[in-house]
Amino acid sequence: MRRLYTLLLYLALPFVVPSMAARSWREGAGLRGWRQRFGFGAFHEGGGIWIHAASVGEVQAAAILIDALRAQRATEKITLSCQTATGLARARALLPGIELRYVPYDLPGSVRRAFTRLRPRLLIVMETELWPNLLAAAARAGVPVLLASARVSERSCRLYRRLPGLLRAGLKSQVWVGAQSATDAQRFCRIGVAAERVSVTGNVKFDRATPADIKQRGDALRERYAAGRPTWVAGSTQEGEEPILFAAHQKLLATLPRALLIVAPRYPQRVDAVIAAVNAAGLSCARRSRPLPSEPYSVLVLDTLGELMEFYAAADVAFVGGSLVAVGGHNLLEPAALGLPVLSGPHQFNSPDIARILLESGALVTVQDAAELAQTLGRLLADPQERTRRGTAAQLAIEANRGALARLLGLIEVIDATAAMPPAWAPQPAEGRTQ
């Protein structure tokens, strides 16, 4: 089954490469690092940790773990790989000094070259990235793999079970799982990971520390862009979602004419499309990267990277995108950690446990459409006591669910102590000596 999967990848390559190149160009990265997608790059001496995080959301989680590893193991070489240019850009901002690479395509030659050059002693994969040839290459090289803060949907679990030859060999080797929930742990066992190597560590995103000066930075942005105005932020919005948000804002303006919507599209290359949607909705617009217009504006578009948390800190209410369309929702914890009431659409399947925890605590409100969103915003923006109650509930829920980072660090210690065999490039003991 893995051979068939590989054949299909090779057949798709002539179509995938131009598409990925075009996307990289739109994201402002050009063709930098493209050789890394085929496993090329500088050679390492070996013994470090390779961490893979697909894009921005996984990078945020990886950064929490990497900061802790740097504090514990100052001399350890850490390399972070990503799939997207936006992921790498976010990693540069969060993790100065870390070596960054594009992850290789999941082709046998590409992943083999990457392992030969990086020569890691441990591969850590964040959340949901299960690549058959990457896992097989790790098994052949004797490199243990930790699936950290890992989750797998029931749909994916059923698919992997119907195609047992795709992942089972790679998962049977030195693969450990730090699952987000007991349900995720059971699913990983069902698809072939040995039960003794699966544990529930929780979601490391709960352990993200809020910057000490975030309130001051938020206050400064509020003074510049929204002084005295009821303000809500729509973060990480996706295609098809902004027209719904702008329709809700139009309704909100009927009762709160000075209300401001700050919209942050998930992908910066979509900024022009978002501005076109603002104009189509008949709303006035300003852009973060440009001087403020002289006339009043009702929407501020963030066309910069890495500032969403600061703008959440400047707001009264947060809406988290990717949830009014069937993308699955983005990071609910970032605004919740700032003590904001959080709104979301009904599509929350990317992080169902986080959504459940925040819903049960009273921190999260789910809305179905523009009318319900406008109604909920109007109620919250008019009631500071309800905003405070929901924001406090959000912070308490996060505090109650911390601890995944410590459990992951403990699991890494276990892997270091019990890995079945050293990587192929590890120094071998002299004849007659024990390891």
Q: List phi, psi (to 5°) of 235.
A: -100, 145
Q: How far apart are CA 228 and CA 219, in angstroms?
A: 11
Sheet holding 78-82, edge to edge: 99-102, 78-82, 49-52, 122-126, 145-150, 175-179, 198-200
CA angle 8, 154, 172 (to 5 degrees): 65
Contact 1, 165 (CB under 8 A): yes
DSSP code at position 50: E
Q: Measuring CA to CA, which residue among 152, 154, 151, 121 is closest to residue 138?
A: 121
Q: Which contiguous run of DSSP H or E holds residue 317? A: strand 317-320
Q: Measuring CA to CA, which residue among 154, 200, 192 is closest to residue 175?
A: 192
Q: How far apart are CA 106 and CA 137, in angstroms?
A: 10
Token pair for 210: 């809020």
Token pair for 268: 């910066």
CA angle 314, 315, 320 (to 5 degrees): 120
* C-alpha torsion sign, points 179, 182, 188, 189: positive
Q: How far apart are CA 21 and CA 32, in angstroms?
A: 10
CA angle 413, 414, 417 (to 5 degrees): 90
Q: What is the largest CA-CA distance in the chain?
A: 84
Catalytic-residue membership of 58: yes
Q: How far apart are CA 219 and CA 31, in angstroms?
A: 39
Token pair for 175: 């693969």
DSSP code at position 130: -
Annotated active-site residue in 27, 45, 58, 307: 58
CA distances from 172 to 43, 60, 73, 429 (A): 28, 29, 29, 27
Distance of CA 22 to the CA centre of its chain: 22
CA angle 191, 192, 198 (to 5 degrees): 100
Q: Which residues are identified as catalytic?
A: 58
